[in-house]
């Protein structure tokens, strides 16, 4: 069976990917990991796409995996693309879901408003509790702050440019939910069209959170793509 690595999104952890992992475990050798600072992993000084890509490379080395397929959700998809650009020998195919590529200072400022720990504690205490439990013993509020700092940095200097994407030749599906309120269809199309072997997939009636994705539908698309 093929190896398939599932990568989680910002402020998430590998537990987010378990419903999908369960649906795919009979078709692939499934791998999951939590990025540095997430899911209780050691907290780095700062968050960056490069650091998270190193997490993946370290995992592959520790598990003696030469090449792997990647399904990346949101930030995990960005990490997958970064690896496809700079470590293409390690990636066979890439499937990206709900990844934000268009970063400007204005967009970053808008997005970090969703990462206000005090507002989350006050207005969505149940979500605050989820974050606390997901990332302990790390401080979930510090994790949100480091995520916001990374988004601000991306706004001033995007880690991947359209020019970078044009040199990526591995087969890739770039997908977005039809009703995603964070990632636009336009930016998703731009990425798919600039990849040498990119394909666009629009998922009907789907919002941004991975918890809102139809697991059966998504796993079907994943099996189709990686099974080719």
- The residue extents of the domains of the chain are 3-101+159-226
- pLDDT of res. 228: 57
DSSP 8-state symbol, 170: S
- pLDDT of res. 17: 97
DSSP string, 9-60: -TT--GGGGHHHHHHHTTTSEEEEEPPTTSTTPPPPSS--HHHHHHHHHHHH
Q: Copy the structure tokens of residue 98.
A: 């709900």
Residues in the chain: 228
Write the Ramachandran bin of 64: left for phi over 0, alpha for psi from -120 to 50, otherwise beta.
left
Q: Copy the structure tokens of residue 172.
A: 């890739």
Does domain 3-101+159-226 sit in CATH 3.40.50.1820?
Answer: yes
Query: How much helix, strand and coil, in percent to the nearest 5, is found in the chain?
Result: 50, 15, 35
Q: Are 110 and 148 in contact (CB under 8 A)?
A: no
DSSP string, 173-226: EEEEETT-SSS-HHHHHHHHHHSTTEEEEEETT--SSGGGS-HHHHHHHHHHHH
Q: Copy the structure tokens of residue 102.
A: 């268009």
Distance CA 173, CA 183 (A): 15
Burial profile 169-192: b = 16 or more Cβ within 10 angstroms, e = fewer? ebbbbbbbbeebebbeeebbebbb
Give me the average pLDDT of each 10-residue run along the chain (228 residues). Answer: 96 97 96 98 97 98 97 98 97 97 94 94 95 97 97 94 95 96 95 97 94 95 90
Angle between the N-to-C axes of helices 75-86 and 49-62, in degrees from 0 to 180, rounded to the nearest 10: 70
- pLDDT of res. 128: 96
Cα torsion angle, 212, 213, 214, 219, sign: negative
């Amino acid at each position: 069976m093929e190896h398939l690595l599932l990568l989680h999104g910002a402020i998430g952890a590998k537990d987010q990917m378990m419903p999908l992992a369960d649906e795919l475990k009979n078709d692939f050798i499934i791998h999951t990991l939590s990025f540095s600072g997430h899911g209780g992993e050691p907290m780095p000084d700062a968050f960056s796409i490069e650091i998270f890509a190193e997490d993946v490379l370290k995992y592959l080395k520790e598990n003696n995996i030469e090449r792997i397929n990647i399904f990346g959700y949101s930030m995990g998809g960005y990490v997958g693309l970064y690896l496809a650009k700079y470590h293409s020998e390690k990636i066979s195919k890439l499937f990206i879901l709900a990844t934000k590529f268009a970063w400007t200072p204005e967009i970053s400022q808008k997005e970090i408003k969703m990462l206000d720990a005090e507002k989350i504690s006050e207005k969505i205490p149940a979500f605050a509790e989820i974050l606390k439990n997901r990332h302990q013993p790390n401080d979930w509020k510090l994790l949100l702050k480091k995520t916001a700092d990374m988004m601000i940095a991306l706004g001033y200097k995007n880690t991947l440019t359209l020019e970078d994407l044009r040199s990526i030749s591995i087969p890739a599906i770039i997908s977005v939910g039809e009703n995603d309120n964070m990632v636009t269809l336009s930016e998703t199309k731009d990425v798919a069209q600039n990849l040498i072997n990119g394909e666009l997939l629009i998922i009907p009636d789907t919002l941004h959170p991975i918890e809102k994705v139809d697991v059966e539908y998504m796993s079907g698309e994943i099996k189709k793509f990686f099974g080719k």
